[in-house]
Structure 1
């Protein structure tokens, strides 16, 4: 007996709790792309800011017993993005949502994962506490700067990886990518670089750095061979691009032929765009976890590219909603 074909939206909403996806203001294009892949409409909500800078969030449809996913990346203005997400979670719980999952493509405070100087806050843990206190039942995120941030949460955390997307991008750009070398900009990136090198069946290299102070790090040596080869630099994010400039320069000084860069989060703050525009690289790519305005792409001298991870998030949301394994997406 044949099973009748179901449309994605019909399948997703065949459970008792309907699937509802909403978005904050930080990256609505990504949220819309996720909904397009899911085959469900982006939920209707409104966020307003009063003259005293207070934020109010209002849902314009029923959430009762719904399986609610709220997409909000922690990008500029970060504090507003976090506050808006807290209010959206709290409002959803107050509206009798069955379950609320905070979908945070870029969890910027993951960089603050330890007390590495006196009298500071471990902000990554503090934000985790606030999200749970607001009522988040689950967290879905991508490429945390420090994986141990998982341990800050007492609710389930699904941690997606963009490695497959980055690897496929390199392979499309360079058909003989297996003859190239994946370069980790520091020891902390070697695991990710090794995984991508295995996917490409390519070589692997790393830059050894020494810390001169709390804020200053200097590259000391390049471990591996990049002479005459295409180099693929991978990292979790680009902020001001200062480390990227150092990494590219040392690779070039060691004889690298062409240099491609791909990271998960393209924050591009401060002088990043000007530095990338002047950089001796073929291309710098990031995913759309952070919204990259067209103005930055145009100002980059044609070097910036944006890769789509909406299908990954859509698949993860489908698996969470239906009770399927999310870990299967990693392979």
Structure 2
């Protein structure tokens, strides 16, 4: 009789806690133990990456859990080398679970003689043997078109909506804000889920990295404002936007961000800012400074990723997880 191929998880070093949390949630959903495949992912003295898988993976449905966050190049190479090791070990299918897709901001040529690095990364992943991508809140949705393999792009907005409903209770005075014109679609999606109005912060730059002026489009007077964006890097724009919104008469400003890159002075800026809370997902492993910051909270993505992996393995719908009604029971007792 043919054997039933089980989903198997393997993780790099980018976000081990998330990988272990996904394995625990899958164990809970399936009623049987699901662990990470025993492997070593380490570096030689010259920082070359070496991967050795200790378990038999021939004919198995493999899922590599590895965000390509800072250090982006090291984590990307770990992912590619793990994929190559599994392909050469005759795995039946290799899916890359990339909670945070690095290089996504380089999705187009903004000026002459610049690369489209996101497309280059896509080509490298396919060449390495990856046959499917599962990711969260791509910086630019069109990156899905850079791949000639299936790409499932999950959204954090259903998780944010569940958390907002729990944290705020009465949503009559809540207003969702996009920190720039480019993020309006993302902000509108969350606003629709919680039935809240929408405003926009328009920013003008005199040169890259410097914001000359910010203008709030919409009435924020007396409102609890929620800024929603896909990533927070150095937090300069976010903190300035919060100040401008408070200056226009808002009572509170909160931020819900999918990916907490949190580079350089970000944590210090957030701690000293007028933001009441900054809510991040754990797509990128939070540093000790982020975890201990008094006004930063972390939302888990493991329940959603675990169910998505099981749906891919079963051949059932992943897009069903975009709905609050479907995701709600998965997060019951967690948020």
TM-score under structure 1 normalisation? 0.93
**Which residue pairs with 2:25 in the alignment?**
37
Contact kept in structure 2, 1:207 and 1:219, CA below 8 Å: no
User: What SS does structure 2 have at the residue aligned with 1:289?
Assistant: coil
User: What SS does structure 2 have at the residue aligned with 1:177?
Assistant: coil
Distance change (3 Å), C-alpha of 1:101 and 1:15:
farther
When the two chains are superposed, the root-mean-square deviation of aligned CA atoms in Å is 1.3
Contact kept in structure 2, 1:140 and 1:157, CA below 8 Å: yes
The aligned runs of 1:285-296 (5 Å cut-off) are: 285-296=279-290
Hey, what's the Cα distance between the residues in 2 that align with 1:108 and 1:274? 23
Residues 1:103 and 2:97 are matched in the alignment: yes
Shift of 1:15: 6.9
Hey, what's the Cα distance between the residues in 2 that align with 1:288 and 1:278? 22
User: What SS does structure 2 have at the residue aligned with 1:106?
Assistant: coil
User: What SS does structure 1 have at the residue aligned with 2:207?
Assistant: coil
Q: How many residues align?
A: 316
Structure 1's unaligned 5+ residue stretches are: 1-13
**Which residue pairs with 2:116 in the alignment?**
122
The aligned runs of 1:209-224 (5 Å cut-off) are: 209-224=203-218
User: What SS does structure 2 have at the residue aligned with 1:108?
Assistant: coil
Residues 1:184 and 2:178 are matched in the alignment: yes
TM-score under structure 2 normalisation? 0.92
Shift of 1:118: 2.0
Hey, what's the Cα distance between the residues in 2 that align with 1:311 and 1:178? 29
Contact kept in structure 1, 2:68 and 2:75, CA below 8 Å: yes
Hey, what's the Cα distance between the residues in 2 that align with 1:176 and 1:260? 15
Hey, what's the Cα distance between the residues in 2 that align with 1:143 and 1:250? 26
Residues 1:17 and 2:5 are matched in the alignment: yes
Residues 1:207 and 2:201 are matched in the alignment: yes
**Which residue pairs with 1:48 in the alignment?**
42
Contact kept in structure 1, 2:83 and 2:129, CA below 8 Å: yes
The aligned runs of 1:239-278 (5 Å cut-off) are: 239-278=233-272
**Which residue pairs with 1:131 in the alignment?**
125
Shift of 1:90: 0.2
Shift of 1:214: 4.0
Contact kept in structure 1, 2:40 and 2:51, CA below 8 Å: yes
Structure 2's unaligned 5+ residue stretches are: 28-33, 324-335
Residues 1:324 and 2:324 are matched in the alignment: no
Hey, what's the Cα distance between the residues in 1 that align with 2:42 and 2:68? 18
Hey, what's the Cα distance between the residues in 1 that align with 2:212 and 2:171? 29
Shift of 1:237: 0.7
Shift of 1:219: 4.0
